[in-house]
Amino acid sequence: MTPQPLDAASRGEQPYLWRFTPLQRTLHAMVIVSFLGLVITGLPLRFAYAPWARVLVRGLGGLAAAGVIHRMCAIITFGYFAAHVGSLIYRVARGTSWKRILWGPDSMVPQGKDVRDLIGMFKWFLGRGPRPRFERYSYMEKFDYLAVFWGVAIIGFSGLLLWFPEFFSRFLPGWMFNVATIIHGDEALLAMSFIFTIHFFNVHLRPEKFPIDLVIFTGRATTEYLKDEHPLEYERRREAGALERLSAPPVSRLAYVWSIILGFASLGLGILVIVLVLWAVLH
């Protein structure tokens, strides 16, 4: 028995099949870098009373430096948000119908099937039914995706308010900055709590995938992976005779090593953040 690859998307029956485009992979890498940057620099403010807060600020080069990093990461965030919305518009302009984007099998929009899948999963958890079979995106992936949409909008707007209070006070009352402070901090806390526990478990840490799934970095996964994780998509592609066209070469050694490094560094940082949050909350 050969040792299993660390990467869950590299295990089992080949060939590799393309799953994410270079743009999608780049945008997700931007999400990772900017989100971690925002969390690490925002955390000491949210938990200023925590014993580690001053240490973290010193490590970041002082509070002024942390503020600059935070704002730079915010700009990256607005950048990937705009790039993604732009790519959707581009697809429509190139002839893909809105209908297909919103309601097609590749859609990110929650549909009846997602509700049935969610109920089906709970039934399966309790041993009262088969495991639901997912299309290209499961309800969990849709939730993650829409949570970023909601999160960037909410945290982004409240953040802009706090970044430029003098400008926004031209048309907003000052107590909106109090509201923005609460929303910005609590929504960020929700985002990091969710990403660093639920998302990490769903995508990387559950026993089938442990310890990591690099498909978002390498863009490709094995045929077996697709059969296990997205069986309906696999069948649809097979029936359409599209598997051949999706076939991808194995990941180059260099890309694999870099994906492992970025992946584990992000996982480690995220888990460290959860430890810091729990430390602060329970302190």
By CB under 8 A, tell whether 63 contacts other proteins: yes
Of the candidate residues 29, 76, 121, 262, the single one contacting other proteins (CB under 8 A): 121
Which residues, 6+ apart, have CB-to-CB distance to 42 below 8 Å? 70, 185, 188
Dig out the tokens for 218 from the structure. 């390498």
Which parts of 188-217 interact with other proteins (CB under 8 A)?
Answer: 189-190, 193-194, 197-198, 201-202, 206-208
Identity of the residue, 48 or 92, whose beta carbon is nearer to other proteins in the bound complex:
48
Q: How far is CA 147 from CA 11, 80, 113, in A?
A: 29, 15, 19
By CB under 8 A, tell whether 120 contacts other proteins: no
Identity of the residue, 141 or 186, whose beta carbon is nearer to other proteins in the bound complex:
186
Identity of the residue, 71 or 245, whose beta carbon is nearer to other proteins in the bound complex:
71
Cis omega (within 30 of 0) for bond into 211 = yes
Distance of alpha carbon 17 from its chain centroid, rounded? 21
Report in angstroms how near the CB of residue 95 gets to other proteins at its nearest: 37
Q: How far is CA 279 from CA 29, 46, 50, in A?
A: 28, 13, 8
Which parts of 26-55 interact with other proteins (CB under 8 A)?
Answer: 44-45, 48-49, 53-54
By CB under 8 A, tell whether 124 contacts other proteins: yes
By CB under 8 A, tell whether 119 contacts other proteins: no
Total residues in contact with other proteins, by rule CB under 8 A: 44
In whole angstroms, what is the distance from residue 178 CA to residue 74 CA?
Answer: 20
Of the candidate residues 33, 72, 172, 243, the single one contacting other proteins (CB under 8 A): 172
- Give 225-239 as a DSSP string: HHHHH-HHHHHHHHH
By CB under 8 A, tell whether 224 contacts other proteins: no
Distance of alpha carbon 22 from its chain centroid, rounded? 16
Residues that bind other proteins (CB under 8 A): 44-45, 48-49, 53-54, 57, 63-64, 121-122, 124-127, 162, 165-166, 169-175, 177-179, 181-183, 186-187, 189-190, 193-194, 197-198, 201-202, 206-208
